[in-house]
Each structure stands twice: as C-alpha cells, then as structure tokens.
Amino acid sequence: MDMTETRKSKRLQLLERGITKEVGMNESVNYLDYANSPLMWAAAALAVAVVVFQSILFMKRSIKAASESALTTDQVHKAIKSSVISSIGPSVVILVTMISLLVTMGAPVAWMRLSFIGSVNYEAMAAGFGAQAMGKTLQTMDTMAFACGVWTMVCGSLGWLIFTFLFCDKMDKVNHLMSKGNAKMVPIISAGAMLGAFANLASGNFFTAEGSLTFTNAPAIATIAGCVIMMVLVKLSRARDIAWLREWAFAIAMFSGMFIGYAVSVI
C-alpha cells in the first residue's frame, strides 16, 4: 500500500513539474515570436499562392471567354481598368484595418486571412473567441491562446468555402429556376441579391451597442453620405458622359463617406 502511494506521489510530482515547466515556457516565450517566425511566413505564403493562382486562372479564362464572344479588345480593356480602379477603395480599407489584426495575431496570419476572407471584423472576433476558450483575451494572449485563435479563424470560415465549392457551379440552375426561364429576370434577380447582401452588411451601422436604431452616429452618417455621394456621381457621370468619373465613383464615395464619418466622430 505504501509503495502504491509512493508511486502515485512521484507521478503527481512529475506531472506538476511538467505543467510548471510548460507554463514557464509559455510565459517566458513571447507568442509573437512564433506568430512572426519564418515557418509561419512560409505556411502563409503557400496559402496566398493558391489565391494568386486562382486569380491568374480566372483572368486567363475571362480573356479567353471574351475573345470567343462578341466583346471587343477595347471593351475588355475598359472592364479590366474599371475593376482595378473599383478595387482600390476596398483594398486600402483592408490594408488600414489590417493593423489591428497584425498587432495581435502577427503579420503572416493577418496577411493570409485577409487574402482569403478580407473581413477584419470576422477575423478579430474569431481570434477573440479562440483566446477566450483558453481563458485569455487578445491583449493577454500566450502561445496556446494564439494557436487556438488561429484554429478558430480557419475552422469558422470553412462553411463558406465548402458551400462555394459544392454549389457555386449550380447557381446557374438556381437562376434559371427563379427566373422560370425568363432571361430578362436574371439580371434583376442578381441585382436584387447584391443589394440585399450589401444592405445586410450596412445595416449594422444603424444600430447602437444597445441594439436601438439610430441615424446620427458616425457609422450611420458615413454610410448615408457614401450612398448619396455615389448616387450623385453616377447621375453626373451619365448625364455628362464622364467615363473617368464613372470608374472612380465607388472609390470617391467610399473615402468621402469615411472622412465624413470620422469628422462626425471627432466633433
């Protein structure tokens, strides 16, 4: 009986030493050393390379489809130019807001996640949930909380990617079913879906932290200002036939809304 108790006591001592050693290492090593390590950069680069490969593949297939259709070279160049200009606004916004994710999760993870999803709000929320599961916050993270945060960010977005992979090629059938074979209804349905998606994203700007509706806070005013400016610029570009204004309208409206919202917040 004494030998059994002695063995149990020794096992407990070894276990306590192991836990103490692990905790000591966890506290002595800054998790950002792991987060910004060359291995993390290499892993993130492989993931981003997939996105770059997909972009090149889509570009090549789009050009091939354009050559097989009735589109002229000038029309293709205008479409590419408009797409590049329209992407400037969202890209700059993501670049600026990426700083908040970079200081907590490290540069490689921030670079990889925003190349995949592009939603700083989701990524920060998912990382926070992962840290909370380990009893930490984004401000008090350690190596275990960081690892759990990365897993939460990745696993939480799998649903979108799996759904897109399985059903994206079937959306043409859905459009045909909803339009009941009427080709004129397809662009109307697509426009309605896009408006609904953006309305859902913007609706959060019109509610306070307590859940009450408001039109006077900075996010709401920024959204309204951006919408009004966009409408005015589109109307003006069509009335005066100003091609460059039509291309830059989205970026101008986005940054104008941001500046107006910021001005309201500091007043």
Domain assignments of the chain as residue spans, ordered by start: 1-156
Consecutive sets of 10 residues in the chain, 267 residues long: mean pLDDT of each? 55 50 53 90 92 90 84 83 78 76 88 80 85 87 90 87 82 73 76 83 81 86 92 90 80 87 86
Q: Minimal CA–CA distance to 254: which of 14, 32, 93, 75?
A: 93
Please enumerate in sequence order all residues whose Cβ is within 8 A of that of 72, keeping only pairs 6 or more positions apart, or say none: none
198-236 in b/e form (b: 16+ CB < 10 A) is eeeebeebbeeeeeeeeeebbbbbbbbbbeebbeebeee
Answer whether 238's CB lies under 8 Å from 247's CB.
no
Q: Give me 136's structure tokens.
A: 């930490």
Element (DSSP H or E) covering residue 160:
helix 158-167
pLDDT of residue 267: 77
